[in-house]
Each structure stands twice: as structure tokens, then as C-alpha cells.
Amino acid sequence: MLIKVLAENTSLSDKFDNEHGLSLYIETGKHKILFDTGASDLFYRNAKKLDVDIRDADYLIISHGHYDHGGGLGTFLKANNKAKIYIKEGAFDEFFSMKNDEEVEYIGLDRKLKDSKQISFTRANLDIEPSIKLFTNEYHKYPRPLSNKTLLAYENNQLVEDKFEHEQNLIIEEDGKTFLITGCAHNGLINIIEQFYLLEGKMPDYVIGGFHLSSSGGLGESKENIEKMSKYLLDTNSKYYTGHCTGEDGYKELKKIMANNIEYIACGSQIII
């Protein structure tokens, strides 16, 4: 499997631009998959620099209804008119972020794109193919990220804390290995892994994506919570690649305990497994 990072908060070198967002190009033996589109057309521009032709993508998965994961959807639709796009039902609802001065900012998707014929709305777990699956989270034993508290949804004519029912995760199986790909893990990374275990009967071999440990550029979780998470993740015996909403500070805290079991991904990074 080949994974190329098209959008992320940082860059591997000056060759690649970056933004607050996430987009991963995934190439299996049979398919080409785009997971999220970042916040703008950046994913498309970096794709060209990484010799990725967006027109060739078979599937686009949008992890949840925030602009930093689906802001490039319009660009994708202009470039690719054949790919099947999977978005969770409710992801085009209105979502907001609470700022320090108690003002709110719209952080949802472009609702004008909702009626695209390429989009299929998922309601629950879905097997796109036997080796490509989507799942949502029903397991909530462990706490969700603390920084979720500033993320709001518009329901019944009022703003309420987002329940993140519009979030979905991706499973890919290839060559006897299982990959779990997350967007922001708003439902809590440990909850997502536990849900994966309930579905698959085993832990993933690789986990790739954002783990939502940052808030306003700094740590959004206590070091104690991150230490507990690190120990849990180590016990899974999985290999982790992370970036975006994990934050560089969050990554450093995870790295202290997880050492070589976790690596940071930036725009321009390539993972070959």
C-alpha cells in the first residue's frame, strides 16, 4: 500500500504548501482512494507535485462535516466526474466553532454541493468492497476529546455541542494487513479502536490520521490523559502515523512513550507498506 499526504498542517519541505486540514491519497493493489480533501484546493496542487492524478481516484471518503476535511470537495468534483463519494448522512448540516470571545464561526461544508450525483450518503457501517469498509462509532465507553466542547452543531434552532454522528472511519485490508484511517477521531481514538475491534475481532496493524489532541495551536488534552492514551495505544501493538489535529505538541507527548511505534506525517510524506 502507498499513502501520500496531500494536505496537513505542516510540510515535509518548502516544495509543499500546507494548511489546517487533512487529505490522504491511498493506493492499494486494486484501487485509488482519496480520504478527505483538506480545506481548499491545496490537496489538488500538492497531488500534482507528488505525481498523483486526482482524475484517477475511484473513491473519495469524507470523514466528517468540517471544512478542513471537505473544503476541497468542489475542486474534486471539477477534476473527477467518475469517483463514488461517500459522506455520512448529516455531514452537510450546519457546524460551528466557538471562539475565545464567545463568537461562533461556521466550519461546515459547502451545502451547495450536497446534491452532487456522485455522492452516496452512508447511514451506518458500509462495505464498499470486501476489503474497503466504513464504520461509525457506537462505542463510547472512553471520554471524547476535551476540545470537542468548543465544536457546535445547529439543532432545533439552537447551537448545541456536536455529537459527531456525522463522523465515519475507513478500514482497508490488503496483503493480510488491516489499516484504520481516521479523520479527526472526534469520537475519541480509543473508542474508535474499540469499535474496530468489535467489528473485526482484532486490533488494526496500522492506524493513520488525526487524533484530536490539539486546541488553538496548543495541547487540548492534559498530559495525564495523553499518557494514558499512549499506554493504551502501545498495548494494541499497532503502528501509528498521525498529524493534523493531533498537533505537534500532542505528537511529542505521544512520542515520549510510544517511541518508534508512532510517526508524524506532513504534506509530502509518503508511506509505503
> 102 falls in which pLDDT band (50, 70, 90)?
confident
Q: What is the mean pLDDT of the chain?
A: 96
Phi and psi based region of residue 154 (left: phi greater than 0; alpha: psi -120 to 50; beta: remaining): beta
C-alpha distances in angstroms, 76 versus 38, 59, 118, 193, 234?
11, 11, 11, 29, 36
pLDDT recorded at residue 217: 67
pLDDT recorded at residue 99: 83
Sign of the alpha-carbon torsion through 176, 204, 70, 217: negative
The percentage of the chain sitting over the pLDDT mark of 90, rounded to a whole number, equals 92
Mean predicted confidence (pLDDT) in 64-89: 98
Query: Distance (Å, rounded) from C-alpha 237 to C-alpha 272?
Result: 19
pLDDT recorded at residue 122: 97
Q: With contact defined as beta carbons under 8 Å apart, do 270 and 25 qualify?
A: no
Query: Which CATH code of 3.60.15.10, 3.30.365.10, 3.10.450.100, 1.10.3720.10 fits the domain covering 2-272?
Result: 3.60.15.10
Residue 220 has pLDDT above 90, yes or no: no
The percentage of the chain sitting over the pLDDT mark of 70, rounded to a whole number, equals 100
Residue 246 has pLDDT above 80, yes or no: yes
Residue showing cell 509505503: 272
Sign of the alpha-carbon torsion through 125, 235, 147, 110: negative
- Beta-carbon-side half-sphere exposure of residue 208 (alpha carbons within 13 Å): 29
The model's pTM? 0.97
Query: Distance (Å, rounded) from C-alpha 199 to C-alpha 267?
Result: 31
